[in-house]
């Protein structure tokens, strides 16, 4: 009996001496499905943070539209009913016009350039600005360079785009880009397979992984390697939630998410050549050398448009254009 008491009091003492840290539970939202660029970041982050925090931080991933489209996920992050999101740049447009700067057409011409700008002080200005809308910007991962596909005809020059019904992300900028190119754009949230299949829209634009993972080769005959927009994910936390975390927890999360982003960018880029081959094997006809100068000329006037007239937005655009000359 004595022995039992001794053991019990030892247990009580130990548990008082080392109060268990309250477990931090994170709901993380992505709109796309497992195997997608966003999910690769989310899964890598979950694996790292749970391991690095000895399970004191736990992540539940909501994917495949289970908690809504990207705009709806962002609204839930603002309200702190969801804590983290790996979200494509486009739908941030209506929350803060500054993100239009990184979706500017033909802004970056290489992955290295995108990394240098986004990971540096210019990218930090975007993250800083997002706080005004209730987001804590943590880091960028990537969807990648976007390419046009359609079911109607080969596209090599802007003339070929005329009148094509193109689905674009929920973004005033993306809509304007395609209007300026001469197409007939319709903003529509993800996913869009059914609309393409039924011919409600003729085409869409996305990085190569999307055509593979979502099997767009089944319903889109033509692809143009237009690389017209580099499409980052902006990885954000709910600002009101973030402020409740202690500094150590914040650092752990920030570090694990950045590691996951670096892992995913590398992974995504390493697969592009293989994907291009696969899409051709599946029967897509690929225009590999479109007249980029002609497309670029069409959208040159965008920076003078209302979309960019807010002084801080205009200033950042000019700074990034200078830094990427």
Q: Of the candidates 26, 28, 32, 212, which one interacts with ligand EAX according to CB under 6 A? A: 32
123-152 residues near ligand EAX, rule: CB under 6 A: 143
Distance CA 298, CA 158 (A): 8
Q: Give the shortest CB-111-to-ligand EAX separation in angstroms.
A: 17
Q: Give the shortest CB-191-to-ligand EAX separation in angstroms.
A: 8
47's CB contacts (< 8 A; 6+ apart) are: none
* Residue nearer to ligand EAX on the CB measure, 40 or 98: 40
Q: Give the shortest CB-212-to-ligand EAX separation in angstroms.
A: 12
Q: Give the shortest CB-203-to-ligand EAX separation in angstroms.
A: 12
Distance CA 295, CA 283 (A): 26
Distance CA 80, CA 193 (A): 30
169 binds ligand EAX (CB under 6 A): yes
Q: Give the shortest CB-167-to-ligand EAX separation in angstroms.
A: 8
Both structure tokens of 69:
């489209």
What character string, x for contact with ligand EAX (CB under 6 A) and - otherwise, covers 81-100? Answer: -------x------------
What character string, x for contact with ligand EAX (CB under 6 A) and - otherwise, covers 194-223? Answer: ------------x---x-------------
Q: How many helices (H) and strands (E) does the chain have?
A: 14, 11
SS3 272: helix
- Closest residue to ligand EAX, Cβ-based? 190
Helix intervals (H) in the chain: 2-17, 37-52, 70-78, 111-118, 121-130, 158-161, 172-180, 193-197, 208-213, 239-242, 247-270, 272-281, 292-299, 311-323
* Residue nearer to ligand EAX on the CB measure, 27 or 63: 63
The number of residues that bind ligand EAX (CB under 6 A) is 8
* Residue nearer to ligand EAX on the CB measure, 53 or 206: 206
* Residue nearer to ligand EAX on the CB measure, 196 or 257: 196
What character string, x for contact with ligand EAX (CB under 6 A) and - otherwise, covers 262-301? Answer: ----------------------------------------
Distance CA 243, CA 249 (A): 11
DSSP state of 196: H
Q: Give the shortest CB-122-to-ligand EAX separation in angstroms.
A: 23
141's CB contacts (< 8 A; 6+ apart) are: 37, 38, 41, 86, 232, 233, 235, 260, 261, 264, 265
Residue with tokens 């590398």: 266
Q: Give the shortest CB-17-to-ligand EAX separation in angstroms.
A: 48
* Residue nearer to ligand EAX on the CB measure, 53 or 147: 147
Distance CA 277, CA 211 (A): 12
**CA 239, 245, 247, 250 torsion: positive or negative?**
negative
Footprint on this chain of ligand EAX (rule: CB under 6 A): 31-32, 88, 143, 169, 190, 206, 210
């Amino acid at each position: 009996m004595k022995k039992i008491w001794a053991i019990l009091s030892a247990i009580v003492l130990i548990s008082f001496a080392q109060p268990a840290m309250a477990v931090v539970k994170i709901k993380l939202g992505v709109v796309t499905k497992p195997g997608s660029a966003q999910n690769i970041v989310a899964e890598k982050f979950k694996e790292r943070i749970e391991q690095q925090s000895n399970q004191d931080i736990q992540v539940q991933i909501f994917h495949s539209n289970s908690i809504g489209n990207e705009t709806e996920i962002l609204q839930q992050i603002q309200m702190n009913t969801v804590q983290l999101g790996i979200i494509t740049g486009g739908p941030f447009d209506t929350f803060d016009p500054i993100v239009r700067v990184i979706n500017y057409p033909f802004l970056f011409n290489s992955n290295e350039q995108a990394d240098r700008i986004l990971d540096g002080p210019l990218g930090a200005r975007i993250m800083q600005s997002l706080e005004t809308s209730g987001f804590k910007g943590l880091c960028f991962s990537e969807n990648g360079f976007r390419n046009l596909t359609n079911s109607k005809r080969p596209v090599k020059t802007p003339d070929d785009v005329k009148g094509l019904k193109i689905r674009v992300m929920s973004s005033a900028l993306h809509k304007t880009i395609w209007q300026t190119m001469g197409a007939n754009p319709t903003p529509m949230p993800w996913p869009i397979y059914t609309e393409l299949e039924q011919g409600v829209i003729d085409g869409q634009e996305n990085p190569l992984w999307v055509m593979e993972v979502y099997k767009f080769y089944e319903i889109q005959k033509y692809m143009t390697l237009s690389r017209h927009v580099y499409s980052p994910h902006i990885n954000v936390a709910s600002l009101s939630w973030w402020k409740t975390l202690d500094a150590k927890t914040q650092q752990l999360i920030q570090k694990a998410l950045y590691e996951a982003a670096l892992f995913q960018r590398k992974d995504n880029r390493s697969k592009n050549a293989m994907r291009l081959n696969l899409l051709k094997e599946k029967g897509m006809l690929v225009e590999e050398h479109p007249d980029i100068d002609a497309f670029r000329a069409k959208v040159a006037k965008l920076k003078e448009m209302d979309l960019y007239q807010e002084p801080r937005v205009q200033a950042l655009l000019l700074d990034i254009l200078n830094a990427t000359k």
